[in-house]
Amino acid sequence: MTAVLLTVQLVIVVTVTALMWLLPRTSRDTLPFGVRVPPGRTADPAITAATRGYRAAVLCVSLLSVVASAVLWPLMSAETAMSGGAALLVAGGIGAYAGAHRTVRRAKDREHWYAGLREGVAVDTGLRTDPVRVPWLWSLPSLVVIAVVAITGAVLYPGLPERLVISVRYHEGGTDYSTAATTVGSAFALVIIQVLVTALLLLILRFSVRARADIDAANPRESAERHRRFLRIWAYCLLATVFALNVAFGGLALIIWTGSLASAGPAVAAVVIVPLLTGAALLTGAGLLIGQSGWRMRDGTGEDTGFVQRDDDRYWHLAGTVYINRADPAILLPKRAAGLGWTVNLGRPAIWLVLGLTLGALAALAVVIVFGLSGDLETTQYGWQFGAGPLGPE
């Protein structure tokens, strides 16, 4: 079991390290580490040095996380040691990114990179009047998966045992698994999650294709067309990811209903991890190939207006991850950091209302789940032999 956990730890570290290493490739060349720079400065030595420093820091932090996990392993549980190493890796990556952001920002301010340049803003009004059409038919496979899983659960529900194994924890001393009384809530929890996650992601897709684009003032026509191509690719990738998520949750639900969770062993994680990794790989690959807002699809054609994109760094905070601008009517806009996607304008009161309602709904759902299951949960320890099922209660 130790070998399995060590392998999982190593895979996690390598994957996260690779994602952090490649992160600068997804952001626009005029937005290195969340800092707006003019096109003539994209190859500035300060940016090159910041990128090298960031990647060196990422490698150092990944090695430290492995060492920390190895040191903590004999002193505490394997899960705690792995969590400590993962926390160090994530915190170190965030610190490295913030340091690179600060390096570029200081060089920009010190050397006055925007001095003498004509700043401008371009807007594609066609995103409102003639938005990119979402290929909603591609959402049908996800809906079919949800329907099949729900119908299967309804058929199996009358024959389910009085208690369901809902989680398994592997450790050196054996295997602990938790059970809950079989109710509609406990049996169909994953189906409910499927519905909620699918609805949320489809809603995000619906609004993202109509969100304000970050159009390049130097070449607005080509930039607007490139953004539209990006939205089409984004839509297909997100819908495919929604399908992968539904397959993962549906597979886990079937394992729980058939009573296989307690006996499947660590390999059961593959049922969930493989679809999730497939979806993540799809979005990551798209980010590396086309970049945020499709900037890597730039073909060099189009007019040169003589303007550069306005320096709007004053509205972006926390290393370019948080946008606050009360004067901007936009609610959703392309984010600067951490790959593809959008962020919200926290300067709009409506966003705070939506966030408050969302957090309140999640808190209420968590309370219902916790209090609904707390009186019914039981934990039993099983012996474990790698490659075999449970040996029986100890």
Domain spans, the chain = 1-114, 127-310+312-394
Q: What share of the chain in percent tops pLDDT 70?
A: 87
CA dist., res. 32 & res. 113, Å (int): 14
- Provide DSSP, 113-140: TTTT--EE-B--THHHHSPPPP-GGGGH
**Residue of higher predicted confidence among 140 and 385:** 140
Could you read off the pLDDT of 75-93 as tens digits, one per residue? 777 778 788 888 899 999 9
CA dist., res. 218 & res. 215, Å (int): 9
CA dist., res. 213 & res. 222, Å (int): 13
Which residue type occupies 392?
G
Please, which pLDDT band fits residue 378 given cuts at 50, 70 and 90? low
Could you read off the pLDDT of 286-309 as tens digits, one per residue? 888 888 888 888 776 667 788 999
CA dist., res. 181 & res. 183, Å (int): 6
Which residue type occupies 4?
V
> Strand 174-181 relative to strand 308-309: parallel, antiparallel, unpaired?
unpaired
Could you read off the pLDDT of 170-225 as tens digits, one per residue? 666 666 777 788 888 888 989 999 998 999 999 999 988 888 888 888 888 888 88
- Provide DSSP, 139-154: GHHHHHHHHHHHHHHH
pLDDT value, residue 371: 59
pTM of the model: 0.82
Q: State the distance between the two ends of the chain, measured CA to CA, in whole angstroms.
A: 18
Does 369 score more than 70 pLDDT? no
The neighbouring-strand residues paired with 122 are: 215
